[in-house]
C-alpha cells in the first residue's frame, strides 16, 4: 500500500515490521507497530502522525 502525504515529497509505503530500530520523524519517538516509510530516503512516520 502506498500513500502520498503532505509531510513528505516522495510516496510513503506501508511497513508492517521494521528489520531494525526506526525513529518516527514526525513525533521523534521510536517506531512501535506499523508505520509508513519512504523507499528513496530514510523518512519514517508512525500512523498517529498521519492522522
Give the domain ranges of the chain.
1-51
Asked if 31 contacts 46 with a C-beta cutoff of 8 angstroms, the reply is yes
3-state secondary structure of 4: coil
CATH for 1-51?
Answer: 3.30.60
pLDDT value at 44 more than 90: no
Please check whether residue 24 is in contact with residue 46, taking contact to mean a CB–CB distance below 8 angstroms: yes
pLDDT of 47: 72
Does the pTM of the predicted model rise above 0.75?
A: no
Average pLDDT of the segment spanning 7-19: 84
Cβ-proximal residues to 32 (8 Å cutoff; 6+ apart), any chain = 46
Q: Region 17-25: what's the mean pLDDT?
A: 74
pLDDT at 39 over 80: yes
User: Residue 18's pLDDT band (boundaries 50, 70, 90)?
Assistant: low
Cα–Cα distance for residue pair 23/34, rounded to 1 Å: 12
Amino acid at each position: 500500500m502506498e500513500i502520498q502525504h503532505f509531510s513528505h515529497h516522495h510516496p510513503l509505503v506501508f511497513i508492517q515490521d521494521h528489520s531494525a530500530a526506526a525513529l518516527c520523524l514526525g513525533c521523534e519517538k521510536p517506531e512501535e507497530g506499523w508505520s509508513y516509510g519512504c523507499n528513496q530516503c530514510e523518512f519514517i512516520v508512525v500512523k498517529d502522525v498521519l492522522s
